[in-house]
Structure 1
């Protein structure tokens, strides 16, 4: 079952169970996916968003909510921060399992070997390879530093 179908199925279940918080988050996810479909159709890609595009959208949504929650906590609005964190848990239900630090290191080593990276100049190739294979499974902001350290060895 595709990710899009899982989201739609969960949306129906949330409607039936009258789970308002989950339902609103699922609707936001669906809207973001449909926005991507529309923009891709404008570029001539009639098939719309692929699975990788959907994973990228969901990862971006999680990151946005993490930043918002942090801002709300700093501003003393714990109620709003809690709402953002609840949305994160709903979105993360559809993302693949996050990789551990050891798994991330192994993935970096594998991609470095695959693309034949030897210096920091090859960082773009390595990051591109990681994004192609591991979208939604790692935080690329954190991984960037790890790749840089690996290539500087």
Structure 2
């Protein structure tokens, strides 16, 4: 089933609404899945529209604010696994944002059903070279990073 939503565009229903689209992330074109939580009736809440519109309006500034929390998460994860002492090719030393950008790729934007969180909520998912299975997820509430972890924190 497909719909053409005025805000989200053409979506296809597959246990949630999805549209594949391109978005620029840190000057790199990324092909992402835009995932909108919702029933098969294609009805979305004002809060979902507000969350998405706010993301798009603030995207240029927001991109930069995501990078340090991801770098901090990576360095903490590397420390927890002991790779700050023992070498592991999957967890190289990454000290700068430029090095981080070579190791991550934005792959998804998730707009959950409004009832899940207070404020405007968006989840972002990234593939990363150091954890191919789990990737990295970011939870944004009112355009601020509230959690970084595996991709499932974004969903």
Question: What is the TM-score normalised by the length of structure 1?
Answer: 0.29
Between Structure 1 and Structure 2, which shows a larger proportion of helix residues? 1
Between Structure 1 and Structure 2, which shows a larger proportion of strand residues? 2
Rg bigger for which structure? 1
Question: What is the TM-score normalised by the length of structure 2?
Answer: 0.28
